[in-house]
Amino acid sequence: MKLKIETFMQEVRARNSHEPEFLQAVQEVAETVIPYIASKEIYNGKNILLRMVEPERAISFRVPWINDSGEICVNRGYRIQMNSAIGPYKGGLRFHPSVNMSILKFLAFEQVFKNSLTTLPMGGGKGGADFDPKGKSDGEIMRFCHSFMGELCRHIGPNTDVPAGDIGVGSREIGFLFGMYRKIRNEFTGVLTGKGLSWGGSVIRPEATGYGTVYFASNMLATKKDTIKGKIISISGSGNVAQYAAEKANQLGAKVVTLSDSSGFIYDSDGIDSDKLAFVMKLKNEERGRIDAYIKAYPNATFHANETPWNIPCDIALPCATQNELDDVAAENLLKNGCICVCEGANMPTTPKAIALFHKAEILFAPGKASNAGGVATSGLEMTQNSLRYHWSRKEVDEKLQEIMENIHSACITYGTNENGYVDYVKGANIAGFVKVADAMIAQGVV
């Protein structure tokens, strides 16, 4: 089996040699899915995984825009349309200086499995630009978004490809993007998700990724007859996912003690309660400030520059910032301090070595493609409401979100339970996500 996986990876490496994040995501899937493929006659001779690692389409385009000083700037925009076997491409847009083909292909590849896991009819895609929104004025952000959509609008549509937000793309950016799409195409359709409530958005969409991650952690703890209540939780990031993971954790009676951004993390041993979280939300979403401002408002807390929060003792860790932010050293610290559950809110935040340590220690570990799927699932619910031209209530959407997270958890148990009873959620999520897409591709022939 090792040889089969290595032969497959050699071919993928030869084609994508300068794409480390993409290769990392593919390797993780290959290790768990290739043994499954080998055990099923239906996949014999179909080269199905090799077809899945090749994007159906990868678009790269120029995004020229004018800054507040009147200078002409140029960024590079992308959309990776990875797989549409089970529905229109769906996945977020990321605006961050680190954005490149490798990062977007890893995200698009993971998105295919994640969207399949939600059981909703959505294919996988991802896009964005190497644009840094930090320090830009609202006018600059608007001009950039308008220029970006000037090209992207040719490639997307409510039945073709439906982007959403991701790092650096929140409700403000979705508004500017939607406005330009509507103007150019002269149509009001559900072409983006994460829209404002008065123009086609769904309740709970902003909260969904963070809430869903905590619902998933609750499902994992339930397998040990345990709950979130009373647990100490360490969260990284302080953006959309981190904020609402913290909110739901507080609601369920846990104590959140850390948040971070790319400058470092804050530790508040008294807990980041709802009032303190409201302060963080205002700081991050309205004032667009840095996380160290927290310790000026709450002097009992401490700020740790250029560090991640994983050396702080906690029961549960929720990495909610970015890829590869939790490495093997961090994993050792978490395990040493008694952490029992790591549930990814971000995409691929845990390095392969760190995952191996969690698996060896047999603690609960959930990969983002399962545990953060609540965001895209609720985007799927937004698409349904747009098609129906109808709005569901907060209670209805939240119930559907909880049900979807429970179903994803059950699918992971079905495909991921090892002989000794330990649940390998990575294996479970990869195989469960794979089956639906692979079967659809086989039914549709070699296209």
Residues annotated as catalytic are 126
Q: How far is C-alpha 98 from the chain's CA centre?
A: 16
Looking at the Cβ atoms of 106 and 434, the one nearer to ligand NDP is 106
Q: In the block, which residue shows the tokens 């009147």? A: 70
- Among residues 12, 63, 220, 346, the one that binds ligand NDP under rule CB under 6 A: 346
Distance set, CA 380 to CA 89, 197, 245, 383 (Å): 11, 15, 20, 5
Looking at the Cβ atoms of 250 and 347, the one nearer to ligand NDP is 347
Contact between 167 and ligand NDP by CB under 6 A: the answer reads yes
Contact between 165 and ligand NDP by CB under 6 A: the answer reads yes
| Torsions phi, psi for 357 (to 5 deg) | -65, -40
Contacting range for ligand NDP; rule: CB under 6 A; set: 17-25, 48-56, 342-350, 411-419: 342-350
- Among residues 125, 375, 416, 428, the one that binds ligand NDP under rule CB under 6 A: 375
Cβ atoms of residues 423 and 216 within 8 Å? no
Contact between 261 and ligand NDP by CB under 6 A: the answer reads yes
Min CB(184)–ligand NDP separation in Å: 25
Contacting range for ligand NDP; rule: CB under 6 A; set: 81-89, 339-347, 390-398, 409-417: 339-347
List, in order, residues 6 or more apart from 411 with CB less than 8 Å away. Answer: 117, 428, 429, 432
Looking at the Cβ atoms of 25 and 320, the one nearer to ligand NDP is 320
Looking at the Cβ atoms of 34 and 316, the one nearer to ligand NDP is 316
91: left (phi over 0), alpha (psi -120 to 50) or beta: left
Min CB(368)–ligand NDP separation in Å: 6
What's the token pair of residue 93?
Answer: 């847009």
Contact between 237 and ligand NDP by CB under 6 A: the answer reads yes
Contact between 372 and ligand NDP by CB under 6 A: the answer reads yes
According to DSSP H, which parts of 93-133 are helical? 101-117
Contact between 247 and ligand NDP by CB under 6 A: the answer reads no
Cβ atoms of residues 86 and 123 within 8 Å? yes
Looking at the Cβ atoms of 228 and 242, the one nearer to ligand NDP is 242
- Among residues 83, 322, 386, 430, the one that binds ligand NDP under rule CB under 6 A: 322
Amino acid letter, 232: I
Min CB(72)–ligand NDP separation in Å: 26
Contact between 128 and ligand NDP by CB under 6 A: the answer reads no
Min CB(8)–ligand NDP separation in Å: 26
Contacting range for ligand NDP; rule: CB under 6 A; set: 32-40, 69-77, 340-348, 357-365: 340-348
- Among residues 87, 124, 125, 168, the one that binds ligand NDP under rule CB under 6 A: 168
Min CB(41)–ligand NDP separation in Å: 35
What's the token pair of residue 219?
Answer: 């499902």
Distance CA 29, CA 124 (A): 15
Closest chain position to ligand NDP (CB): 239
Contact between 238 and ligand NDP by CB under 6 A: the answer reads yes
Near ligand NDP in 207-236, by CB under 6 A = 209
Amino acid letter, 291: I
Distance CA 51, CA 288 (A): 42
Distance CA 105, CA 25 (A): 9
Cβ atoms of residues 204 and 215 within 8 Å? no
Among 82, 80, 115, CA closest to 99 = 80
Question: What is the number of other CB atoms lying within 10 angstroms of the CB of residue 431?
Answer: 23
How many residues form the binding site for ligand NDP (CB under 6 A)? 24
Among 99, 86, 91, 156, CA closest to 125 = 91
Local structure of residue 423 (DSSP, 8 states): B
The residue length of the chain stands at 447
Contact between 377 and ligand NDP by CB under 6 A: the answer reads no
Looking at the Cβ atoms of 134 and 336, the one nearer to ligand NDP is 134
- Among residues 234, 347, 351, 386, the one that binds ligand NDP under rule CB under 6 A: 347
Binding site for ligand NDP (CB under 6 A): 165-168, 170, 209, 237-242, 261-263, 320-322, 325, 345-347, 372, 375
